[in-house]
Every structure is written in structure tokens, then in C-alpha cells.
Structure 1
């Protein structure tokens, strides 16, 4: 996708981090914006910022873990703009915790945000794009955690590996149809976002204040590690330009941290050789 002016972007996770940066860059390029997020006060701030830049924008507060909320957001976008040219599934959360410690509701929450919200949006929007018969694009935000594995965050890895695999498989399906829809998957490393504030956005259906896990040292330690790695990540300033340049160049995998390329290659070699994961090797690399 090289021409963005007057094209319509449907963007989840728009109120923070990557989403906010992408929304502002879309506004600079003359796009019409449908901004979706669960954090309504923050979404209002982003809405005002891009509206002040001159963008036509629709603000849609929604919980993307709910299929009906995503469906409603798509309908409102079509009612306002009558088309969707670029879908960016950016909504995401991070939940540290080992598989035998992390409560099942957290597994459900992370899979619904990081994977199923992307499914819900594509189920509704791909048919719209096919019917439009115009050049369109879909970008699913995954993570470097969808290409390499590390200790301590199996739920996060599971959701991001799933997103990468789903995006790849969907690309094949669209190619077989000769559909004029580009597929992209973004796999960033640590970036200075507010992802460590995941708990502030926990919906009621995934909350249980009586569970001792959420007051445990394991939970608190995981939160501290998440905050440390994100605060010490790459500055977010260049992310939007990276995204739009990748869209212009039709890059499928969008990577932000070349330092991880060796680890990606090492993982592929391990798979081919049948080697087991070795935490000592991983500790040395990280």
C-alpha cells in the first residue's frame, strides 16, 4: 500500500503506545481514522489530537475481547466512512507468569486480546475488503515473542506465536483467491510503551479480587520485570514510520530489533535439528 490519502484505517489499541503513534502518522498522511480502544479517557485524548491535525476520525470505545463490540465498531466505521482500506490489529496485553501459576482467566484474557480480537476484526473486515475490490492491507501486531521463545511468559508467547501463524496462513488463503489484500505481521522487540500497565485495562469478566495469585510475590515479580524491560526498551518515536515504510514496501514480517535476528535463526536450526530448548543458552543470549 503506497497511497494513504483519504483511505480509511480501522485501528484497535489506538489509545496508547503503537496505536497512538500509528494514528498520528495516519492523520499526517491524510487518512480517515476509526480509533478503537477500551480506555475511553485516553482514547478521547488521541481523538482530539488527530482531529486537531485535521483528520476525519471516529472514536469507538470497545472491549475487543468481545466479538459483539468488534462487530459494532466495524458497523460504526462503515456507517461513517463506507469503506475500510487498512486494518491494523494493534490491541494487546502482556501477562507474565509460568503455566502452572497463571490463572486460567488470564490465559483466556490474553488469548482473547492478542489473538481473538484479530480474528473478530478480520472475520468482519476481509469480506468488506473483498467486496470493495480495491487495494487493501491488514497488519496484525504480534511480537518478537511470536518468533522466539524465552522463559517466564508462556501465555504471551502462545498468543503471539498464534498471531504470527494465523497471519501467515491467512496470507496463503488470500493469495489463492487472488485477493488484492496485503497481509503483514509486526514482531517488535522491547519498545517504550505502557504495556506494563496491562492491569489497568483488565475487564470485569477477567477479574477475581479473591484469587491469592494477584497478591503473591510471583505476580508482583512478574510485573516488575515487565516494567523494567519495557521502560528500558527502544524509544517509540520511530515505530509509526517503520510501520508505514513496511506497508509501502509490502514487507510481510516487520521487525524492529536486528539484535534478535540471530536468535530467530538459532531457533529455526534447533527445530530442524530436533534440539530441545536450553535455558542456559537462552540466558547467555539475553
Structure 2
């Protein structure tokens, strides 16, 4: 379906956190190509300015709002800026996230708290600041939360990230149920990426507890990762269908979900599947 055919679904602005690179930047570019004004949020003002420049150079409408999703006041300021510029928000993408590597007992407390505050609290703050405003609008809208296949299965050496993504997956499922009751015009989706080429491991600082895992995962994404642009295409295909589950790699999701269902149903201990 060509971009012109999406204009009817492009009512309202798209607000994207973690929009300075990777999936967030790709979703922002694709939203703009579909005719949506975009509001770009990221901790790095420099990164979102670069994304915004590319969008506006192509004729799109982009507003940048440097945002720390771990800070509720910062996310509330993002919502205020978005609604000051645009009459309505049609799409909220809670996408900001960070990685962590290392065994649970090796992680510095500050690193653990950083992962939880960005990945879990960041999504919560987005919900808290935007959903009441979106719910006051009778027009259709959608909230998409970037979870991960890490929130379906379990992997040793990536505990903080996995814990955060299991929590975010549960948060998204809860939001789906609560919006169905209170704001049925708001659709909810979990965007579940597997290997997508992003900066997420580039931004993990090498450390004694991360060890060689940093280089391993950086290589994995470079060699096996789907492009962020392809992930954004899948993202919007799912949004257009109104899917709750939007998976970049359905085969990986099915394998992990099937194995987890077996472990739970048979009360088996975790394994590598």
C-alpha cells in the first residue's frame, strides 16, 4: 500500500521516544512519509535534531523535544510540547530503551536502576502523561510499546534487560485491558523486535562484568540484524491491521513463546530452549 493511501490513518501527530537512532528514528521517518507530523523525543538533542533535519528536508513536519523518559516531569513536558504544537496525538510510541550485560550479581546498582528507570519507568511515564489526554479525544489513536523477545523468553547474562522487558510486556497487556474498559478508542500494541540493527549494544559501555558479551552482541546485530527501516515497515503494517502483537521475527517469537508456554504448563525449570 503506497504512502498516499495511508493519509486517512495519519490523523494526529506521532510522538516517538528514543527517536534519535535505530527503531525510533526509522519509525519517525516512516510516520513522516505517511503524512504524520512527528514529535521526536530522546535524551540526545543532537541525535533527534539530525533525524528532524532529514524529515523536514523531505517536506515533513518534525518537532524535537529533548526528553529523559526516566524523569516524569520531563515526559510531562514532552506531552505539553506535543499538544501545544498539535491538536491531537494519534500515535504514541514508547520506544526508548537501554541494554545491560552481565550476571545479576555482578551488575552495579546504578546500572540496574538505570535500566529499570529507562525501560520500565519510561514506558509508565509515557502512559501516565499521554493516555489521559488521548482518552479525552473521541477520535481513534494508538499506543505502541516497544517490548522485546527478551520479554518472552529468558537469557542468562542479560538479566536486567530481560527483567525490564518482561515487566514492560506485562504493562502493555494491562494497558490493553484498561484502555478497552476506559478508552476503547485507544488501541494498544506490543512491538516485539528480535535481532534489529540498532545502537543498543553500541551504547553499552565495555566493563569487567559485561566482558566479551558486548563485542559478541554487537557482531550478532551487524551480521544477523534486520534493518531498522524494515522493522519500521513491519511496525506500521501491524498498526494498520490493529494488531496487539507486532513481531519483527514471528518465527523467533513463536519458538520462544511456545517453549515458555511449555515450561509454565509443565512447571519445568528455565532452560536455553
Fold shared per TM-score above 0.5? yes
Specify the alignment match of 2:197 in structure 1.
Answer: 192
Question: Which of 227, 240, 247 in structure 1 is aligned with 2:218?
Answer: 227
TM-score, structure 2 normalization: 0.92
Report the secondary structure of 1:198's partner residue. coil
Specify the alignment match of 1:114 in structure 2.
Answer: 119
Q: Any conservation in 1 of the 2:149–2:256 contact (CA below 8 Å)?
A: no
Equivalent residues in 2 for 1:1-286, closer than 5 Å: 3-177=8-182, 179-199=184-204, 215-216=207-208, 218-232=209-223, 233-260=225-252, 261-278=254-271, 282=272
Shift of 1:135: 0.4
Q: Any conservation in 1 of the 2:15–2:39 contact (CA below 8 Å)?
A: yes
Cα 1:12–1:77 shift into 2, 3 Å: same
**Which runs of 5 or more structure 2 residues have no equivalent in the other structure?**
1-5
1:97-137 deviation line (CA, Å, top 9, x unaligned): 11100111111111111111111011011110111111010
Shift of 1:277: 1.2
Q: Distance in 2 between matches of 1:176 and 1:77?
A: 26
Shift of 1:84: 1.2
Q: Any conservation in 1 of the 2:13–2:39 contact (CA below 8 Å)?
A: yes
Report the secondary structure of 2:35's partner residue. coil
Q: Distance in 2 between matches of 1:8 and 1:236?
A: 21
Runs of 4+ in 1 over 6 A off after TM superposition: none
1:172-198 deviation line (CA, Å, top 9, x unaligned): 111122521000001111111111122
1:169-222 deviation line (CA, Å, top 9, x unaligned): 11111112252100000111111111112247xxxxxxxxxxxxx642x32323
Shift of 1:86: 0.6
Q: Distance in 2 between matches of 1:10 and 1:256?
A: 21
Report the secondary structure of 1:266's partner residue. helix
Q: Please tell me the root mean square deviation across aligned C-alpha atoms, in Å.
A: 1.5
Cα 1:215–1:169 shift into 2, 3 Å: closer
Shift of 1:227: 1.1
Q: Distance in 2 between matches of 1:118 and 1:153?
A: 20
**Which runs of 5 or more structure 1 residues have no equivalent in the other structure?**
201-213
TM-score, structure 1 normalization: 0.88
Shift of 1:22: 0.6
Q: Any conservation in 2 of the 1:36–1:62 contact (CA below 8 Å)?
A: yes
Report the secondary structure of 1:47's partner residue. helix
Shift of 1:47: 0.6
Q: Any conservation in 2 of the 1:27–1:53 contact (CA below 8 Å)?
A: no
